[in-house]
Chains A and B, each alone.
Chain A
Amino acid sequence: MPLIELIETNLEKKNHTPIWRFPEEKNEFPISELYDRAIEYAHTFTALGVEAGDTVGFMLNNCSDFVPFLIGLWKINAMAVPLRPHAGSDFDIHAYLNRIEKSCQFKLIIFNDDANEDLINSWTGLSGRQGYRRSEFIGIHPVTIKTDFPSILPSDIAVIQYSSGSTGDPKGVIVTHEMVMNQVRQIDFERRVAGQDKEIESTGSWLPFNHDMGLFIGILHPLFAWSNNILASPRYYMYKPKRWFELQSQYQVEWNFTTNMAMANSLRSLAQLAPGAIDLSLFYLYLSAEKVSPTILRKCYEVLKEFNMPEDHFKVGYGMAENTLGAASTKQGKINTVHVCIDENSNTVQKTDGHDNNAVEVVSIGSPHINTTMTVRDEAGNILPEMTLGEICIQGHCVFPGYHRDEEVSKKALVEGMFKTRDLGFYCNGDLYFYSRKDAMLVVGGRNIAPEDIEDCAEGMEGFSVGGTALIEVEQKSVGTNKLVLLVEMEDKRHRLDLTSERHRIQSEIYQKKGILISTIVFCGKNTIVKTTSGKKRRKAIKETFEKEQKALCGNDSL
């Protein structure tokens, strides 16, 4: 049964209608009202020519209308494509849309009310397709009301989930209605195994709906679980994290998902609340979408225990859009961490007591979800034993069938239904540990960043040479977050003041074009950005050099 049918059955048979709250809009609605609006919107979509199998883009901030838009679209068995609503001021959003349009061929796109006029005009003008602001779409009241809706097959596409598109080519992950149901059932099962073995009554999320975690944790699982729900935007959350946690306490919310970076940025705000000012004794918090730092985990324990949140209510999740969402998570009890030394030549992992200078502390991502198999494999595809580093591979009924209209990339990622994640990890005492990415992709705040895109942006600026920059990620152990460092080769010795203004110019350019703030720009001498004979940047070697000679490089002494 697809999710939309379950909603209809619940509306008919359940004796309560959950309330969904939108604090940013100062609104709340029973699901029945959201559903009624969804049916109205289904008629509007139909009147605008959207049919089963068509794609509709939502370039929207988190808002209450997003929910009925999605349900309404599914009612007519069309495909939803959540798109990134924000971008840097110079980010080429037209190019981003046009790249996705090539594979999606949107029937229409719904934009934010404050979307740029040029964007909408260029979209509707160039492609000949339809684009509406949110309030324009809502204001359309079709004359002809269609009463029969198409049936939905499990293999029909529900969502095409694109990566953010600020860096790298956006790839569209196909998510069918069957995958949606498999994932929400799995999430619910794992939640029970992890200690919440009762019907969940109240959920909350501020994660963006255009992100897989925001879509599933914010909308789809609460619809499945038939829970009360609080939804806000990332901006509402980040503006005052303590306000968000006060709401979770007030409405006795039982779980949230978040990221390592979001928690790192929230703890100072939370620490301002007096001990016992809020009650999080029922609350579970899953950290996911990026590598979790043991430092942040311990800080979370320390700050949130003041609000009665037990340590075993923290969980770590691991997954990606290609597996619909979650693939593994920690179960009952406290989250394990392990100190290990990893020999990246032999790929052997050795446990240490933590005093070894080469040791790293890694946080467990738990064990695979039900109906999911996760193996660690070598380059040839052989399964590796415990304490051996290899590529994490996933098989199961949430694995995607491929990228939308991109057979070539799909073939590389999927081998006989097994998804090769390009994440490196190892098993230790039955727990799986994520160590790093296999490729150069950086993951910061749950966002994938392709280094070459940031480098291209810097290298395209006047005064910098092609191939003369390298973006690396550096762990800040004491803080518990990773920072982005851009190394920039410079031939000439410039005055220190010039370097400062150059540094600010690069930061400003990248932030405006890519929406990413690079906290540290380091100018270095020629040949610091070492390359292979074919001209490829040797990122591992560059990072090692930086870590060894950080002081000299940061002091600009190498120029």
Chain B
Amino acid sequence: MGLFRKNFVDLCVEHGLLDGGQVETMLNDDLIESGMLDSMGIVTVQTMIQETYGIDIPTPLFIAELRSINNVIAYLYKLV
């Protein structure tokens, strides 16, 4: 899990979704409420996950449950 988490966080930093210097403090932030993800940002994250892990995350699931980086990591970890 540790390595998987690190790789996913690095991927988010690479795509400019997270600030490399403040990663640890942002992992539990609500991506939508905090404004880190807008309409376009959701598509970017879905594309990034699809291209990297081959997993399609339905938008309703993303908005309802996977609202933080840690939630996304936990969800993906179960599937890969």
Contacts and interface: CB of A to CB of B under 8 A. Distances in A.
Contact of B44 (A239, A515, A517): A239
A265 B41 CA distance: 8
Nearest to B45: A239
B1 interface: no
A512 B64 contact: no
A265 B15 CA distance: 10
A269 B16 contact: yes
Contact of A517 (B17, B39, B60): B39
A235 B43 CA distance: 8
B38 A235 contact: no
Interface in A160-179: none
Interface stretch (A93-101, A222-230, A476-484): A476-484
Interface string B55-73: 0000110011101000000
Interface in A134-166: none
- Range class of the A interface residue count: 20 to 34
Contacts of B39: 445, 511, 515-517
Q: Is the interface of A mostly helix, strand, loop or mixed?
A: helix
B37 interface: yes
B74 interface: no
B29 interface: no
B14 to A, nearest CB: 7
B59 A507 contact: no
Given A238-B43, A239-B44, A516-B39, A505 B64 contact: yes
Contact of A511 (B35, B42, B47): B42
A261 B38 contact: yes
Contact of B35 (A235, A239, A270, A481): A481
Contacts of A519: 32-35, 38
A476 B43 CA distance: 23
B35 A476 contact: yes
Interface in A475-526: 476, 479, 481, 483, 501, 504-505, 507-508, 511-512, 515-517, 519-520
Contact of B16 (A241, A479, A481, A505): A241
A266 interface: yes
A21 interface: no
A267 B20 CA distance: 12
B79 interface: no
A520 B16 contact: no
A143 B8 CA distance: 54
Given A239-B48, A519-B32, A445 B40 contact: yes
A270 B20 CA distance: 12
A365 B43 CA distance: 31
Given A234-B40, A517-B32, A266 B16 contact: yes
B14 A272 contact: yes
Which 3 pairs across A and B sit closest by C-beta, in order of nearness? A269-B16, A268-B16, A508-B63
Given A512-B60, A517-B37, 15 more contacts: A234-B40, A238-B41, A240-B14, A261-B38, A265-B16, A272-B14, A272-B16, A445-B40, A476-B35, A504-B64, A504-B67, A508-B60, A511-B39, A515-B39, A519-B32
Interface of A: 89, 234-235, 238-242, 261, 265-270, 272, 445, 476, 479, 481, 483, 501, 504-505, 507-508, 511-512, 515-517, 519-520
Interface of B: 13-20, 32-35, 37-44, 47-48, 59-60, 63-65, 67
14 contacts: A89-B59, A238-B40, A239-B15, A240-B15, A265-B16, A268-B19, A445-B40, A479-B35, A504-B65, A508-B60, A511-B42, A511-B59, A515-B39, A519-B32
